[in-house]
């Protein structure tokens, strides 16, 4: 432990790390050392758990993913996929775009036409397939529902923090996170696709909902977004932003220099809020740009064997994501998952941040 502290102080003197990083190290070195005496996985988890306790009062309390803005070539086909497979409700549809949702507070997916070609440059080296799990779908922004949201006071706080909030209808503000991704700070209700437009009317997307087919009754029942994976240029900077602004709790953190689709490593961070988990991983984009790699839906009464059987019956080729989930590709080729409650916590506590490290194999 003393050697580690001396090493950190030397790094401070040389300018390789800052005072904040040294203080963090002094704060959680003892906890991490104790956990490491049990297992390396425990060390990584202890770092995250200890650091989460150091987060002071945040500006807001995120309680759910308000929505994930998902752009695809065929919005109706994707809408029907989420309705039939996950039993999600069509809450809004104007014939050009829609919102499907589940849970309370609502977790929604806004499904819209692609606004521009997807950014999928070829990679090289061991992580050359960095884009394989994203297909031709694109998540260009996501939003968080805030407890006790008040439009004016929220805007004032975001301005005070230098985040230059832009109005997005009567119930939301848009800002940029440290990686440049657009995020929205929202009320739990009142937000709908296109709400930022002065001429937008919520009724434009609700008057014909009865004409849209509902679930076939043979699929799953989603109750929340289990997790969303965003790859960013600087994991630590993004972690500090989301914990400090939205009160998210670190449930897993592993430092490191590189993380690839096929390459173990770090940095990796899992942030918990409400029923949702936010995964932060290092960008594998050749230009170090941020992107959403995939997102997963948590379903009620998950049964591993029964879920696999149902997915195979529907013609999918499910791949395991620990003992709590199965991965498939949606109609756009984006990875999605049928996940049971507790998947992120299991991968954090028992699998060192990745299903490949689960004791007994990736399906355990």
Tens of pLDDT, residue by residue over 205-252, are 999 999 999 998 889 999 999 999 999 999 999 999 999 999 999 999
Please report which confidence band the pLDDT of residue 27 belongs to, taking 50, 70 and 90 as the band edges: very low
- On average, the pLDDT of the chain sits at 85
Note whether 90 and 48 are within 8 A (CB): no
* Per-residue model confidence (pLDDT) at position 44: 43
- pLDDT tens digits along 122-154: 766 555 666 676 889 999 999 999 999 999 999
What pLDDT was estimated at residue 187? 98
Please enumerate in sequence order all residues whose Cβ is within 8 A of that of 277, keeping only pairs 6 or more positions apart, or say none: 226, 227, 228, 251, 270, 271, 344
Please check the confidence at residue 39 and state whether its pLDDT lies above 80: no
Q: Tell me the CA distances in angstroms from 168 to 69, 104, 156, 197, 327, one per residue in order.
A: 14, 22, 15, 8, 34
User: Residue 87 has what DSSP assignment?
Assistant: -
The band of 4, judged by pLDDT with boundaries at 50, 70 and 90, is very low
What's the pLDDT at 12? 38
Lowest mean pLDDT segment, chosen from 41-45, 166-170, 196-200, 356-360: 41-45
Confidence of residue 263 (pLDDT cuts 50, 70, 90): low
pLDDT (tens digit per residue) in 41-79? 334 444 444 344 334 478 999 999 999 999 999 999 999
Q: Would you state the pLDDT for residue 5?
A: 42
Q: Is residue 298 over pLDDT 60?
A: yes
User: ω before 105 within 30° of 0 (cis)?
Assistant: yes
Q: For residues 2 and 97, what is the distance between their CA atoms, to the nearest angstrom?
A: 58
pLDDT score of 47: 42
For residue 286, the model assigns a pLDDT of 81
Q: What is the pLDDT of residue 6?
A: 47
In this prediction, what percent of the chain has a pLDDT beyond 70? 80
């Amino acid at each position: 432990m003393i050697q580690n502290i001396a090493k950190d102080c030397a790094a401070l003197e040389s300018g390789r790390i800052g005072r904040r990083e040294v203080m963090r190290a002094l704060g959680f070195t003892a906890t991490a050392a104790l956990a490491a005496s049990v297992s390396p996985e425990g060390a990584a988890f202890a770092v995250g758990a200890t650091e989460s306790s150091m987060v002071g009062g945040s500006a807001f309390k995120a309680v759910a993913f308000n929505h994930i803005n998902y752009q695809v070539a065929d919005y109706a086909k994707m809408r029907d996929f989420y309705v039939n497979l996950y039993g999600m409700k069509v809450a809004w549809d104007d014939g050009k775009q829609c919102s499907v949702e589940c849970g309370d507070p609502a977790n929604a997916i806004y499904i819209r036409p692609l606004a521009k070609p997807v950014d999928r440059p070829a990679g090289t080296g061991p992580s050359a397939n960095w884009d394989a799990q994203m297909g031709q779908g694109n998540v260009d922004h996501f939003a968080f529902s805030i407890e006790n949201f008040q439009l004016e006071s929220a805007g004032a706080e975001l301005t005070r923090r230098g985040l230059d909030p832009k109005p997005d209808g009567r119930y939301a503000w848009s800002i940029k996170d440290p990686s440049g991704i657009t995020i929205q700070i929202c009320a739990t209700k009142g937000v709908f696709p296109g709400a930022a437009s002065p001429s937008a009317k919520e009724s434009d997307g609700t008057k014909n909902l009865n004409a849209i087919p509902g679930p076939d009754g043979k699929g799953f029942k989603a109750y929340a977004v289990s997790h969303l994976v965003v790859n960013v240029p600087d994991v630590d900077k993004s972690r500090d932003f989301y914990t400090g602004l939205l009160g998210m709790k670190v449930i897993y953190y592993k430092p490191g220099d590189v993380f690839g689709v096929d390459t173990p490593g770090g940095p990796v961070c899992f942030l918990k809020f409400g029923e949702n988990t936010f995964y932060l991983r290092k960008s594998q984009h050749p230009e170090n740009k941020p992107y959403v790699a995939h997102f997963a839906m948590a379903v009620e009464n998950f049964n591993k064997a029964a879920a696999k059987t149902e997915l195979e019956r529907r013609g999918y080729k499910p791949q395991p994501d620990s003992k709590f989930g199965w991965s498939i590709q949606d109609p756009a080729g984006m990875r999605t998952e049928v996940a049971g409650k507790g998947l992120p916590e299991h991968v954090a506590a028992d699998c060192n941040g990745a299903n490949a490290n689960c004791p007994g194999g990736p399906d355990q």
